[in-house]
Amino acid sequence: MMSTGKVLTGALVVAMLQGCGGGGDGDGSGSSIQQLSYKAWNQTTGYASALKQCALAKTTADACTVGQLAPLGTTYTFLTVDRIAERVVSSHSWMARNFLEALRSMPMSDLALFKSVTAIVIGHDIRPSYYTELTGAIYLDGTYLWTSAEEAADLSSNTDARLAYGKDLKFVETSRYLDSSYRRLTVSNSYNAERNSSRTISELKPNLFSLLAHELAHAADLVPPEELGRLDSNLKIYENVSRFPTLASEQLHQTYPLNSAMMHGLAGVFFQGKTATSQQKMLTAAQAGTELETEGSNDLYAYSSASGGGVLYEDTAMLFEEIMMRRWFDAHRDLAFLERPATESIYCNDYMIGWGQRNRMADPSVQVRAKLISDRLLPGVDLSDDYASYSTPTALSRTDWCDSNISSTGAAPALQLFNYGQQVREEVIIPEFGH
């Protein structure tokens, strides 16, 4: 599937469901990006000349050293939006402009998450979104940032091949974020002339910030904040990573491993496209959910690993994403395994909840794992109130996914479940020789 790395897929909603992400072949090397259309947002900084070349490097030979393009945290002790703007590259200026406008509402202390990043690349032809240690940059799908029909027209209509995975199984897994009044928090990333023809920056922020939490978790995991002062400027990012001691994902795996063979196997089907076994084809939504409930994960995606084992980088990103969405939006998260209807459908009222849980982060076995991660990735930021705001996880009632268990004002009859068939999840790209 790629020439330089392993894909460890990552972030938002389901194998086949909306998630963080953009497209192409998923190799993380920038080979699917039309490089001529990309420009640095700020042309006056010292890194402006190297920024595009380094951020869009395709191969290990093309990749830049830390001396050529260093992570933001080695340049600045304290980050501001204007300093982050110095590392933004985009295919269209409106993407960078909308991104920076949204970012100005993020708590100043949380901008520290960008310290591990060399660049933020936003594009019309990036799908799924991803992070790669080849360049140390995050790559964001521009569909998270459009606000008008004119902007949406610039976006690629390519779909993620993983939408087709897992169709032999009797269920799908999905999730959603709700606001403090249990109404849908997110607005679809898919443009629709009748139902979704414009969005404000405030409306696109929840989807965008969940994506950022996920991808920045990968960046801070692979380039730990405590290692920024010890980077070798003569080495490339991935070469530095190979010298680091235990990463957060490795510590999580060693301390609180995820042991379910069933979950590992299902993640392979849904996220790597492995062929389902006869036993997997017999599993029900209720059985899958009951199995996940016995472990300390907050999503099936946590088990995703293209290598079929080892460190689960997506486990780290999913835990961090959920607690940051609580911090930023006081968000409630629903996780569910849904029964697949007899006739294929994209509408959520055709999917019945076989198993579902709200605020799984309240489960002690999940929360202790999330705390380990947040302490490593965002040191010095106190998240204790956010963790304390959870009481107990609650079961979702057995009704259809569309408007069940949420405030009626947040429901939409026959809401499309699969985000118009474009997105699955985000990725983290790990070169063969790295972590």
pLDDT (tens, 9 = 90+) of the chain, 435 residues, equals: 222 222 222 222 222 222 333 223 333 344 456 666 899 999 888 788 789 999 999 999 999 999 999 999 999 999 999 999 999 999 999 999 999 999 999 999 999 999 999 999 999 999 889 999 999 999 999 999 999 999 999 998 887 777 788 999 999 999 999 999 998 898 888 888 988 899 999 999 999 999 999 999 999 999 999 999 999 999 999 999 999 999 999 999 999 999 999 999 999 999 889 999 999 999 999 999 999 999 999 999 999 986 555 678 999 999 999 999 999 999 999 999 999 998 888 788 889 999 999 999 999 999 999 999 999 999 999 999 999 999 999 999 999 888 668 876 544 545 556 543 444 445 455 444 332
Residue 306 pLDDT: 61
Q: Are residues 150 and 194 in the same domain?
A: no
Residue 222 pLDDT: 96
Q: Are residues 256 and 310 in the same domain?
A: yes
Q: What is the CA radius of gyration of the chain?
A: 20
Tell me which residue has tokens 């939408």. Answer: 163
Pairing of strands 425-431, 5-12: antiparallel
Whether the CB-CB separation of 223 and 247 falls below 8 Å is answered with: no
User: Model's pTM, two decimal places?
Assistant: 0.89
Is residue 115 in a domain? yes
d(CA 77, CA 179): 33
Q: Are residues 149 and 272 in the same domain?
A: no
Residue 229 pLDDT: 95
d(CA 132, CA 218): 8
Q: Which two tokens stand for residue 227?
A: 């290692």
Whether the CB-CB separation of 57 and 30 falls below 8 Å is answered with: yes
Q: Are residues 292 and 264 in the same domain?
A: yes
Residue 251 pLDDT: 96
Whether the CB-CB separation of 169 and 281 falls below 8 Å is answered with: yes
Whether the CB-CB separation of 206 and 329 falls below 8 Å is answered with: yes
Q: How far apart are the first and last CA of the chain?
A: 18
Q: Are residues 195 and 316 in the same domain?
A: yes
Q: Are residues 137 and 177 in the same domain?
A: no
Return the bridge partners of 338, or none. 172, 353
Q: Are residues 359 and 400 in the same domain?
A: yes
Q: Are residues 389 and 276 in the same domain?
A: yes
Residue 403 pLDDT: 66
Q: Are residues 155 and 275 in the same domain?
A: no
- Which residues fall within 8 angstroms of residue 327, CB to CB, at 6 or more apart? 107, 110, 383, 386
What Å distances lie between residue 13 and 211, 217, 318, CA to CA?
A: 11, 17, 10
d(CA 14, CA 150): 29
Return the bridge partners of 339, or none. 171, 352
Q: How many domains does the chain have?
A: 2
Residue 194 pLDDT: 86
Tell me which residue has tokens 């491993």. Answer: 257
Q: Shortest CA distance to 292 belongs to which of 326, 264, 254, 250?
A: 264
Q: Are residues 122 and 17 in the same domain?
A: yes
Q: Are residues 138 and 194 in the same domain?
A: no
Expressed as residue numbers, the domain containing 16 is 5-159
Q: Are residues 176 and 155 in the same domain?
A: no
Q: Shortest CA distance to 410 belongs to which of 332, 344, 324, 319?
A: 332
